[in-house]
Structure 1
């Protein structure tokens, strides 16, 4: 089979390793079938699209909407490299799934407005599929509404015509979208279960996603959340594109 490519940007070794392990577990892929490139450590480099079944861009402490002068040299390099990669992804309509940071990155690439208007504190929220989402090949097997973990400072507030909105939440109007037929993004985290989300919020307790004194309350709510349906996004992505690089038939708009 052709492997999938995972691109991550977390500079904490333990958090990064846990993230790769989570993607392996929830996709069912062996580590050797999920090639891992840490863009925080080295340039992404050339991507041979014919080699991969699909590409996944994981979440990140990086933000799209932060002023340029506040970004590190590494973050600016990663942005440039991702913009170049997305030029080719969109041109080829290649299988691609961007998560959290990925939705802002792809959104900005497509001309969406990414700002702080619809940020959500670390929590489980109710996600609802749009009519487009209910008809989409990747999302149509999910329930019409389900819970998923979120935690983001920025989000998309205005979408261009090239973006088909697939899901929303009460406090964030764009929780998932599709560009073309094969390029997807989610604001929520389909790779996180309760234990992993607890670990993640502990790691980022002082990064501005929530007030540090709220940590225990957040963890208590996390333990009660059932986000199993959100995990289906990863499974469906792998099922759709495993071992092949073929474009699906067009998806009719609803």
Structure 2
């Protein structure tokens, strides 16, 4: 059985704990190990203990004009994970904020031109995505939750575009064989996302005055990103 480490980059404890539970459920790992980069250093990780890493979302943005030192430290640690995945020393799946960190690290552009409000988005696989061992079985389309202010303007150099939609041209890419990044949230069920909305109600992802209507729409949605996450441990067994 493969061993996975969930890497948390959310400052809000309730949202962080809930996201951990979501990843554990969809990865089918009862005791999913966790590293909270807001409170612990990547230096504490015994790399050889883990076959792969999943990196959760965050309200941080790489386009922030004046990031805190805490955010800078988090981004340096995320880049270290990405560097190891590029070298084939581990396999990593970055979500949400993490796709921006990886895009910038690889020399790509992160832009505010393609925001997506809170919604269940229909994602389309590219031909390369359909042939990918992690994404392919989900295709040709699947539905997941999105809510973001920034995104990659285009896949960064050497990246393979795996998924897109009408609002956001880069929903997922792969670099090499072991580094994946998604703009969307594969782990969130409708209840998960509705609960997360309560934490980030005043964070600019949706109109707070439309909170009840937005939550109702989220709860009425149907998503199937869990299938993708469920294949991640299987992918690690083939490394």
TM-score with structure 2 length normalisation?
0.95
Which residue matches 2:220? Answer: 224
- The question of whether the paired residues in 2 share the 8 Å contact of 1:93 and 1:183 is answered with no
| Whole-Å separation in 1 of the counterparts to 2:51 and 2:84 | 15
Matching of residues 16-31 of structure 1 within 5 Å: 16-31=16-31
Partner SS for 2:153:
strand
- The question of whether the paired residues in 2 share the 8 Å contact of 1:54 and 1:94 is answered with yes
| Whole-Å separation in 2 of the counterparts to 1:224 and 1:143 | 22
- The question of whether the paired residues in 2 share the 8 Å contact of 1:178 and 1:184 is answered with yes
- The question of whether the paired residues in 1 share the 8 Å contact of 2:154 and 2:169 is answered with no
Shift of 1:129: 0.5
| Whole-Å separation in 1 of the counterparts to 2:42 and 2:231 | 25
Matching of residues 108-119 of structure 1 within 5 Å: 108-119=104-115
Matching of residues 214-253 of structure 1 within 5 Å: 214-228=210-224, 230-242=225-237, 246=239
Gaps of 5+ in 1: 247-254
Select 2:98's aligned residue among 96, 99, 102.
102
| Whole-Å separation in 1 of the counterparts to 2:85 and 2:44 | 13
Gaps of 5+ in 2: none
- The question of whether the paired residues in 2 share the 8 Å contact of 1:101 and 1:187 is answered with yes
| Whole-Å separation in 2 of the counterparts to 1:93 and 1:207 | 36
Shift of 1:2: 4.6
Runs of at least 4 residues off by over 3 Å: 46-49
Q: What do residues 198-231 of structure 1 show as CA deviations (whole Å, max 9, x unaligned)? A: 0011110101112211212211211221102x11
| Whole-Å separation in 2 of the counterparts to 1:194 and 1:226 | 7
Which residue matches 1:204? Answer: 200
Which residue matches 2:8? Answer: 8
Partner SS for 1:66:
coil
Residue 74 of structure 1 pairs with residue 67 of structure 2: no
Which residue matches 1:88? Answer: 84
Change (3 A) 1:204 1:37: same
Q: What do residues 71-109 of structure 1 show as CA deviations (whole Å, max 9, x unaligned)? A: 122111111222233222212262110011121111111
| Whole-Å separation in 1 of the counterparts to 2:157 and 2:17 | 37
| Whole-Å separation in 1 of the counterparts to 2:46 and 2:13 | 26
| Whole-Å separation in 1 of the counterparts to 2:64 and 2:220 | 33
Partner SS for 1:177:
strand
